[in-house]
């Protein structure tokens, strides 16, 4: 069923120029042929393969992807060690997920997972300590990473488990951080587009 996020993106695609349309059509072709790294795609969106997706998905994906490659959206990976179950059963994994998160840094987790109100699968909060992100700085010639430490990261972060649309991810990130635990992944990802005063750049490293 289409959501308000999908409707907003559909409206945006109706006003594309011919050149922009060709760009997103090419992005859609690449998505359908698994051109992009699967981990990165799943971090941004996952859909039921039987449903498929169209230009709206390519538009939203391309916008989030471009912000990651330009360093505007930071990413953090937290090793969970096990895969998420379907919405019907993911609530049974709450204790194990909380334990795994707390091995990395102090974490609070919503009382329920999957199908909770506010159109999300739950929430995560880091009440103490510092969250370390990576900033991707990509160009045609090279790609390098910066480690970025976030301070005072105490707000609730929406948690999306399994399937979610690229449109929803794009608009959620405009409001603040977002946590993603994709199907088939033993890692949980946090994405964030911070204000510069909220961060400290630790160092720069080249990816291996």
Tens of pLDDT, residue by residue, the chain (208 residues): 567 787 788 888 888 889 999 999 999 999 999 999 999 999 999 998 777 899 999 999 999 999 999 989 999 899 999 999 988 889 999 999 999 999 988 889 999 898 765 578 999 998 766 678 888 887 655 666 677 776 666 678 999 999 999 999 999 999 889 999 999 999 999 999 887 655 565 544 444 3
55-69 and 18-32 helices cross at what angle (nearest 10)? 90
* pLDDT of res. 11: 83
User: What is the pTM for the complete model shown?
Assistant: 0.86
Angle between helices 166-175 and 4-13 (to 10 degrees): 100
E strand or H helix that includes residue 78: strand 74-79
- Confidence (pLDDT) at 205: 46
The whole-number pLDDT of residue 3 equals: 73
Q: Which among 109, 23, 102, 6 has a CA at the least distance from the CA of 60? A: 6
Q: Which two tokens stand for residue 161?
A: 């488990």
Angle between helices 55-69 and 166-175 (to 10 degrees): 40
Angle at the Cα of 31 from the Cα atoms of 30 and 33, rounded to 5 degrees: 65
pLDDT at 13: 87
Element (H, E) at 96: helix 94-102
Closest CA to 76 of 199, 201, 200, 189: 189
pLDDT of residue 195: 73
Residue 60's CB is within 10 A of a number of other CB atoms, namely: 27
Q: How much is the pLDDT for 105? A: 82
């Amino acid at each position: 069923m289409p959501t308000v996020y999908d409707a907003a993106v559909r409206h945006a695609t109706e006003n594309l120029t011919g050149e922009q349309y060709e760009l997103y059509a090419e992005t859609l072709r690449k998505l359908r042929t698994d051109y992009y790294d699967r981990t990165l795609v799943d971090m941004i969106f996952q859909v039921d393969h039987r449903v498929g997706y169209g230009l709206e998905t390519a538009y939203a994906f391309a916008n989030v992807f471009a912000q990651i490659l330009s360093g505007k959206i930071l990413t953090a990976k937290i090793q969970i060690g096990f895969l998420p179950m379907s919405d019907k059963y993911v609530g049974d994994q709450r204790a194990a997920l909380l334990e795994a998160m707390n091995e990395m840094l102090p974490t609070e987790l919503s009382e329920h997972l999957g199908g909770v109100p506010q159109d999300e699968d739950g929430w995560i909060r880091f009440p103490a300590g510092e969250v370390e992100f990576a900033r991707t700085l990509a160009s045609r010639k090279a790609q390098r990473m910066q480690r970025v430490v976030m301070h005072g990261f105490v707000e609730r972060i929406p948690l999306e488990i399994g399937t979610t649309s690229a449109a929803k991810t794009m608009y959620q990130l405009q409001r603040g951080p977002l946590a993603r635990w994709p199907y088939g992944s033993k890692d949980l990802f946090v994405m964030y587009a911070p204000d510069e005063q909220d961060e400290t750049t630790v160092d720069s490293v080249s990816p291996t």
